[in-house]
Structure 1
Amino acid sequence: MKDTEYLKVKGTKVLANEWGTLTQFKVDYRRKDGRWQEQIREAYDRGHGVACLLHDPETDCVLLTRQFRLPVWLSGSDPFLIEAPAGLLEGAQPEERMRLELIEETGFEVSELNHLFDAYMSPGSVTEYLAFFTGTYHLKNKVAVGGGAEDEGEDIEVVHVPLRDALGMMRSGEIRDAKTIILLQELALRQFSVSKD
């Protein structure tokens, strides 16, 4: 980390280093008016990740997962979140990792993935960005049981949801995961755009 004309790092302290690394930063930040201001911030680093929404054009279903999420439980909400399959890169290339995650979590293997964009999901406190993908799946593409890796604590239910229902679940609050909402909206916009042509 090098100092810049707008930021000087005065000190760091690792607060936790188990599943990811939580670091406290003491910095001087140069404001737009030129004044320097001391700030203390924390950043959580667990690496970058991937997420993908698979769509079956024959049934107009999307392939989602449902799994327990401790932070959601801690916030007092239903902790069994409905999500698009996702995972951490852990040194792999994004498309390679996404293919492995799809098989591990859902049991489905796809021939083609389309990279949409990369986005930071919580830039105020988390360093992670996600590479977003879409792809097409068919029931005949199932090659494994899915359900996630038990040794990683995963216990994943695979759900096939009609796109119309998934969009309704997003509006009603049944689907509350940001990456999944982004991918569902992107698919809906793409379909709307095709129908307008």
Structure 2
Amino acid sequence: MNERVRNVQPEVLSDNWYTLRKIHFEYRRADGTWQAQSREAYDRGNGAAILLYNRTRGTVILTRQFRMPTFVNGNPDGLLIEVPAGLLDRDNPEDCIRRETEEETGFRVHEVRKVFETYMSPGSVTELLYLFVAEYDRSMQVDDGGGIAHEQEDIEVLELPFAQAMAMVASGEIRDGKTILLLQYAALHQLL
């Protein structure tokens, strides 16, 4: 029991890909009164994302892949440019992001640095996202990447000059929140 939330009653609406629940509860408002409320929450688990950067070359590794939710919301081809990312499943965030980086980009990174944790859409999605940065160089490339076929991944790996990636944020070509946050982190902390 929380001092502000009581009588929590979750109702599963869908348990197909991930779990969508409608949660009925009472919330104590700032004036002390209790108010009955209902909210839907989509639980897909927690995730991790990483910006790979090469200080010497001034480049970053990004990915491009089809994202159906963006397509149904007006993104004409459904393609989105993003940093490598994935769900933790049962891994800790560091192991997850090393695995996802290799699967998606073909680069095997060892030294990753967590820069922060964030909720990207806290009004409807439960996911806590762990954000990392890591340096890369060509000696770390073990294959071409592209994702895992049986997970229906079809990922294009992009190596871009950092200045170009930042210009793509400014122009709206990069619209993914976690990617924008990590690119801005790199700029603020002068990683490149």
The C-alpha deviation readout for 1:3-42, integer Å capped at 9, x for no partner, is 3221113522100111110000111110000011111100
Tell me the residue number matched to 1:92.
91
Check conservation: 1:49, 1:131, Cα contact below 8 A. yes
Q: Secondary structure at the match of 1:72?
A: helix
Tell me the residue number matched to 1:129.
128
Cα offset, 1:111, TM superposition: 2.9
Paired with 1:148 and 1:9, the residues of 2 have a C-alpha distance of: 43
Q: Map of 1:37-186 to 2, 5 A cutoff?
A: 37-78=35-76, 79-186=78-185
Tell me the residue number matched to 1:18.
16
Tell me the residue number matched to 1:9.
7
Check conservation: 2:98, 2:110, Cα contact below 8 A. no
Paired with 1:62 and 1:10, the residues of 2 have a C-alpha distance of: 44
Paired with 2:87 and 2:13, the residues of 1 have a C-alpha distance of: 22
Give the TM-score, by structure 2 length: 0.96
Q: Percent identity?
A: 49
Q: Secondary structure at the match of 2:96?
A: helix
Cα offset, 1:109, TM superposition: 0.9
Give the TM-score, by structure 1 length: 0.94
Check conservation: 1:23, 1:43, Cα contact below 8 A. yes
Closer/same/farther in 2, CA of residues 54 and 10 from structure 1, 3 Å limit: closer
Runs of 4+ more than 3 Å apart: none
CA RMSD of aligned residues (A): 1.3
Is the deviation greater in 113-122 or in 9-18? 9-18
Paired with 2:28 and 2:168, the residues of 1 have a C-alpha distance of: 44
**Structure 2 residue runs without a partner (length 5+):** none
Cα offset, 1:99, TM superposition: 0.6
Q: Secondary structure at the match of 2:133?
A: strand
Paired with 1:77 and 1:96, the residues of 2 have a C-alpha distance of: 32
**Structure 1 residue runs without a partner (length 5+):** none
Query: Quick one: which amino acid aligns to residue 49 of structure 2?
Result: A
Q: Secondary structure at the match of 1:191?
A: coil
Cα offset, 1:118, TM superposition: 1.0
Between Structure 1 and Structure 2, how many residues are aligned?
191
Check conservation: 1:9, 1:25, Cα contact below 8 A. no
